[in-house]
Structure 1
Amino acid sequence: MGAISKVRYGMVGGGEGAFIGEVHRMAAALDGEFALVCGAFSSDAERNRRSAAAIGVDRAYPTLEALLQSEAALPADERMEALAIVTPNHLHGPMAIAALEAGFHVFCEKPMALDLAEAKAVDAAATRSGKRYGLAFTYSGYPLVEEARLRVARGDFGRIRLVQVEYSQGWLSRPIDSEGNKQAEWRTDPARAGLGGCLGDIGTHAFHLAEHVSGLVVESLCGDLATHVPGRRLDDDAAALLRFAGGARGTLTATQVAAGEENGLRLRIHGEHGGLDWSQMEPNTLTLRWLDRPAEIVRAGGPGLDPATTAKLRTPAGHPEGYIEAFANLYRSFGRAVRDGAGPAFPTAAEGLRTMAFIEAMIENSAGSAKWTTLRT
């Protein structure tokens, strides 16, 4: 068997001090199927130069426009094939459209855009271009999330009745966004973060996970948004009642002011015969509970897993895998789609549109007097 042809990719954003850019680079590198060949890592020229040097990238460009133009002019076997977008939210849509229209595949940080209308423009650009478009809804890449999804899909629990998802963080419990914390500052700025604060940052992860694993579509919701820290311009706390197609009911909570919490993402799904429980902070365990028999503990690497689950594992049982590996599963699937035309086993524009519709429905419902608001994509 010959060596795998690496997907050449570039990156916009993700310079020094940017957490998520480094995560993307580690994830892309894990399986040896990507090569970072260029970037526009910062709008600050000196920071961009330092970042490129630290990463080991020779082709550093001052702007995305320069990157796209220069890369397109290179021979086909040298230019980048895909662009990773790891900037603040307000740039996701315009940059994705520009890259797609220039003939490059795109893998983008979530959310997809600032609003649903812009997300639809991205989707249209992807369709016109014929290029791949992926979104970094990382938690769908965990092996036991895949196992949970497969067990729900094959009917192990019967008809689904309840979907409960929560995502609790505490890092914005103080007004660090007004005290110089750069990551907090842009995430609470409507001009750069978009319509939702906590809602867009982690609420979209919770919503995506609920639909992805349950296989159900949220038809309407009743939402409540709050801003607990005085002076903050976007929500830092969100809660919703959910109505799914087919009759299932659900709850979603997302907060970044649960003081002391780290990254408490948890999903529970219950059907007629039993249910499942998965937590991101204990990602290698999936708990199954039944009406007529004792609970079961399913472990990553252990017996009884579906082959599609084991394909996402890299180490034997008892060797913890986590966030970077889950992220890498998305990159691996995206890379194979780019290289071999494989079907998308990663979040696409369709999921992005759903999450943007969720944000807008939550804001509309929380601000209005209607009890229920329909999600419209």
Structure 2
Amino acid sequence: MRRLRMGMVGGGPGAFIGPIHRIAAELDREIELVAGAFGSTLERSRAAGDAYRIDPSRAYGNLAELLAAEATRDDPIDFITIASPNHHHLPAARAALAAGIPVLSDKPATATLAEAHALAGLVADAGLPYGLTYTYSGYPLVREARARIAAGLVGTVRKVVVEYPQGWLAGEGAGKQAEWRLDPARAGEGGAIADIGVHAFHLAEFVTGLRVTRLLADLAAVVPGRRLDDDCQVLLRFDNGARGVLLASQIMLGERNGLRLRVYGDRGALDWRQESPNVLTLHHADGRTELVQAGDAGLGDAARAASRTPGGHPEGYLEAFANLYRDFARQLRGEPGSLVPGIDEGLRGMAFIHLAVTASRADAGWVDFEV
């Protein structure tokens, strides 16, 4: 079985996520990064291509050149990863799908909800695989939590609390990563709500199997001069009647990447933290507290399939990211079992961002969740 050939848009010099994509894609040796339009100029793209150690002739000046040149090769790319700022997501996906190339994209799917609807139509018309890298859905114990809730471990879900505190934008912010995230022209409708809040939203729905039906949002740009939110609180209502709370903030000094999910039911509860990802805490109605650890013999099929090392050997962010790539490779080969989020999750994520932003600005109170 040959390795799948991957192209990439974005991820050039100074980018955080580009090298992460490359490492994750190649971890299981099922995929190889072979081409890319990595930067805004040919010079920057070739500099990134050199760092990624690809053939210099396959580092292109833009996506159009990449697609045209790869189409003439005997060994063209099998899919493309979009690792550029949000405003590039729709144009890049449109061009790739029109060229018959499957797409794996950074979240959120697009910069606006209207663009997400346009993308959904393109994906449907193309009939090609499309995935989103909601990284945290790749963690083994996140998949274990999902399986245990589906099996009824916590009973009927009553309360969902998901929080994602960071502190790196508590000041003015500096560097390429802050620059585009604070620019509405490149980030889109939301700031922190689109950067990390949508991760928290997806995690809550992915693990519980529930869907948000209403929300009440309070978003703010706390640091003076910002045009996009950097601090967010959202109350949620789910389709089974459960209540939820979502916090996403990038101005909480001292916080690093504190994504945490707690789910409370009438028979039990569970607690997972991204900064301690190899432990899942279960609370039982009889008063017992159980610690489930990565690599445990009692893990379910989904968690075992997402694990690479024996218990006591920590796995983390890169491995979780790699699980999404391994799942996407499976999807491209027509094999079952992929848990990679798709365009439906992309639409829901963009609806969450749009509704939270617009409802907060209008002080609208509770609004229905409509995609």
TM range (shorter): over 0.9
CA–CA separation in structure 2 for the residues paired with 1:86 and 1:317: 32
With 305-314 and 193-202 compared, the bigger mean Cα shift is at 305-314
Is the partner of 1:283 in helix, strand or coil? strand
Is the partner of 1:325 in helix, strand or coil? helix
Is the partner of 1:288 in helix, strand or coil? strand
1:355 partner letter: G
How far residue 45 of structure 1 moved from its aligned partner, in angstroms, is 2.3
- Preserved contact between residue 195 and residue 359 of structure 1 (Cα < 8 Å): yes
CA–CA separation in structure 2 for the residues paired with 1:341 and 1:151: 24
1:45 partner letter: L
Structure 2 residue 311 is matched with structure 1 residue 352: no
- Preserved contact between residue 287 and residue 298 of structure 1 (Cα < 8 Å): yes
Structure 2 residue 64 is matched with structure 1 residue 70: no
CA–CA separation in structure 1 for the residues paired with 2:91 and 2:36: 17
2:368 partner letter: T
Taking every aligned residue pair, what percent have the same amino acid on both sides? 54
| Structure-to-structure mapping, 1:212-231, within 5 angstroms | 212-231=206-225
Match in the other structure for 1:256: 250
Is the partner of 1:8 in helix, strand or coil? strand
- Preserved contact between residue 197 and residue 248 of structure 2 (Cα < 8 Å): yes
1:314 alignment partner, one of 295, 300, 308: 308
CA–CA separation in structure 2 for the residues paired with 1:371 and 1:51: 46
Structure 2 residue 125 is matched with structure 1 residue 128: yes
CA–CA separation in structure 2 for the residues paired with 1:86 and 1:233: 23
1:144 partner letter: L
Deviation per CA, 1:86-125: give whole Å up to 9, x if none. 0011001111111011100100001100111111111111
How far residue 172 of structure 1 moved from its aligned partner, in angstroms, is 0.1
Match in the other structure for 1:31: 28
**TM-score scaled by length of structure 1:** 0.96
1:366 partner letter: S
Match in the other structure for 1:54: 51
CA–CA separation in structure 2 for the residues paired with 1:29 and 1:66: 24
1:41 alignment partner, one of 38, 42, 47: 38
CA–CA separation in structure 2 for the residues paired with 1:343 and 1:104: 21
How far residue 341 of structure 1 moved from its aligned partner, in angstroms, is 4.3
How far residue 336 of structure 1 moved from its aligned partner, in angstroms, is 1.1
How far residue 233 of structure 1 moved from its aligned partner, in angstroms, is 1.4
- Preserved contact between residue 144 and residue 284 of structure 1 (Cα < 8 Å): yes
CA–CA separation in structure 2 for the residues paired with 1:307 and 1:208: 22
Match in the other structure for 1:195: 189
User: What stretches of structure 1 of length at least 5 have no aligned partner?
Assistant: none
Match in the other structure for 1:141: 138
CA–CA separation in structure 2 for the residues paired with 1:221 and 1:340: 37
Is the partner of 1:231 in helix, strand or coil? coil
Is the partner of 1:22 in helix, strand or coil? helix
CA–CA separation in structure 1 for the residues paired with 2:42 and 2:6: 21
1:310 partner letter: R
- Preserved contact between residue 15 and residue 176 of structure 2 (Cα < 8 Å): no
- Preserved contact between residue 169 and residue 262 of structure 1 (Cα < 8 Å): yes
CA–CA separation in structure 2 for the residues paired with 1:74 and 1:124: 29
- Preserved contact between residue 85 and residue 109 of structure 1 (Cα < 8 Å): yes
Is the partner of 1:264 in helix, strand or coil? coil
2:98 partner letter: E
How far residue 54 of structure 1 moved from its aligned partner, in angstroms, is 1.9
- Preserved contact between residue 90 and residue 193 of structure 1 (Cα < 8 Å): yes
- Preserved contact between residue 112 and residue 188 of structure 2 (Cα < 8 Å): yes
- Preserved contact between residue 159 and residue 242 of structure 2 (Cα < 8 Å): yes
2:282 alignment partner, one of 284, 288, 301: 288
Task: Label 1:306 to 1:269 Cα distance change in 2 as closer, same or farther (>3 A).
Answer: same
How far residue 368 of structure 1 moved from its aligned partner, in angstroms, is 1.9
CA–CA separation in structure 2 for the residues paired with 1:342 and 1:73: 31
1:71 partner letter: E
Match in the other structure for 1:19: 16
- Preserved contact between residue 7 and residue 339 of structure 1 (Cα < 8 Å): no
- Preserved contact between residue 278 and residue 286 of structure 1 (Cα < 8 Å): yes
CA–CA separation in structure 2 for the residues paired with 1:363 and 1:176: 22
2:357 alignment partner, one of 354, 357, 363: 363
- Preserved contact between residue 364 and residue 373 of structure 1 (Cα < 8 Å): no
Deviation per CA, 1:234-275: give whole Å up to 9, x if none. 100000110000101000000000001000000000111110
- Preserved contact between residue 175 and residue 232 of structure 1 (Cα < 8 Å): no
**TM-score scaled by length of structure 2:** 0.98
How far residue 219 of structure 1 moved from its aligned partner, in angstroms, is 0.3
Is the partner of 1:313 in helix, strand or coil? coil
1:262 partner letter: R
How far residue 370 of structure 1 moved from its aligned partner, in angstroms, is 2.8
Match in the other structure for 1:152: 149
1:351 partner letter: E
